[in-house]
Amino acid sequence: MRQSGYYILGLYILLALGSCSPQYTRHLSEYHFSSPDDRPDYSRLDYWAAHPDKKDLADSVPPPLQPLYIRDSLADVFFVHPTTFASQDTGSWNADINDSLLNAKTDYTTILYQASCFNECRLFAPRYRQANLKAYYTADSASAARAFELAYQDIRRAFLYYLEHYNQGRPIIIASHSQGSTHTKRLLREFFDGRPLQHRLVAAYILGMGIPRDFFTSLKPCSDSAQTGCVISWRTFLEGYEPAYIKKEMGSSIAINPLTWNQDTDPAPRTLNKGGILPGFSNLVPRVSDAQVHDGVLWIHRPHFKGSILYRTKNYHIADINLFYVNIRDNLRTRLAAYRQNLTL
């Protein structure tokens, strides 16, 4: 389960910046809830980081996009957030579901910056006992496997609760990033792949993790911008950078270009990038990056934004969604329109 040092470093920088931010500590009083058995209780809104029946940070829309905001009532989004838990405690393999600081950090990072990308639909994002970041690179594979299994079982229970109490036969979009995608690819295989629920899948945006092309039996990678019932995935790196674990895959993972929405390996220029959302959330940066599919990943040149000359990372994992924020929002509209049209045929 070892991953590139750049991946780990990038995530630790994000988490370190967030963990001491007064932005989180100001809001801790909003997170004083507890579960008596230390398991998430999905009948309570507290255990949903985003939910249509409460006001939350996933409802946020960057100011430049507010005049264009369109609420679509056709489908629901089930979003699974990435890792925000990186405890150095050697015995901490899973997050405490009642940890006020961690829940605030999750909401003010991934829910605000990533889940909000999908908020033109009804959006559900469960809290879960996520695996510690160290589970991705530890030598203790048995403990890591148990940590991921516990996290997945929370996601599975949340999805079952959603289906029983909220879905009411609506079409579904699955969206996730990083650890969230570790779990949603299992969720898709268990509940959608070759099963009746597959017919209600608008699309699955499972980003930031390698998804082998043969992982699913019936679900296929998306081949264009309007295809429905298909899978979208990418991982973003600086052009020319191929970490060892990517080389071992030998191009076997799904990679969709978010500027063209196909698997072609032709470069897509930055002029096709409608805008990224970077730290601060309020500023839209058009033409922030180009994109090219290469051997199962997405290559980009160094992004264009104020101060980017100082940004030296070769792994853009933490920005898989944010670099293509507007393109993703627009693509979701396109797939919803296609799904709606197919319903009338």
Q: Domain coordinates of the chain in residue numbers? A: 5-344
Give the tokens for residue 21.
Answer: 């931010």
Per-residue pLDDT band for 19 (boundaries 50, 70, 90) equals very low
Q: Is the pLDDT reported for residue 1 higher than 50?
A: no
Give the Cα separation of 226 and 336 in Å (integer): 8
What percent of the chain is modeled with pLDDT above 90? 84
Give the tokens for residue 254.
Answer: 């799904």
Q: Is the pLDDT reported for residue 22 higher than 60?
A: no
- One-letter amino acid for residue 61 of the chain: V
Q: Does residue 60 contact residue 116 with C-beta atoms inside 8 Å?
A: yes
Give the Cα separation of 78 and 29 in Å (integer): 26
Give the Cα separation of 95 and 325 in Å (integer): 28
Give the tokens for residue 177.
Answer: 């990033």
Give the Cα separation of 1 and 144 in Å (integer): 8
Task: Give the helix ranges, DSSP H, for the chain.
Answer: 5-19, 22-25, 100-106, 112-113, 141-162, 179-191, 244-249, 325-344
Which pLDDT does position 78 carry in this prediction? 99
Per-residue pLDDT band for 327 (boundaries 50, 70, 90) equals very high
Nearest to 84 by CA among 174, 223, 158, 178: 178
Which pLDDT does position 313 carry in this prediction? 86
Q: What are phi and psi of 151, to 5 degrees?
A: -60, -45
SS3 44: coil
- One-letter amino acid for residue 124 of the chain: F
Choice among 9-23, 29-43, 306-320 with the minimum mean pLDDT: 9-23
> Which positions ≥6 away from 212 have C-beta within 8 Å?
249, 252, 253, 254
Q: Does residue 137 contact residue 3 with C-beta atoms inside 8 Å?
A: yes
- Can you list the pairs that 337-343 forms with residues at least 24 positions away whose Cβ atoms lie under 8 Å? 337/226, 338/226, 338/227, 338/228, 339/74, 339/75, 339/171, 339/202, 339/228, 340/74, 342/228
pLDDT, tens digit, 9 for 90 and up, residues 145-169: 999 999 999 999 999 999 999 999 9
Nearest to 231 by CA among 215, 249, 240, 219: 219
pLDDT, tens digit, 9 for 90 and up, residues 239-287: 999 999 999 999 999 999 999 999 999 999 999 999 999 888 988 999 9
Nearest to 39 by CA among 128, 132, 160, 143: 128
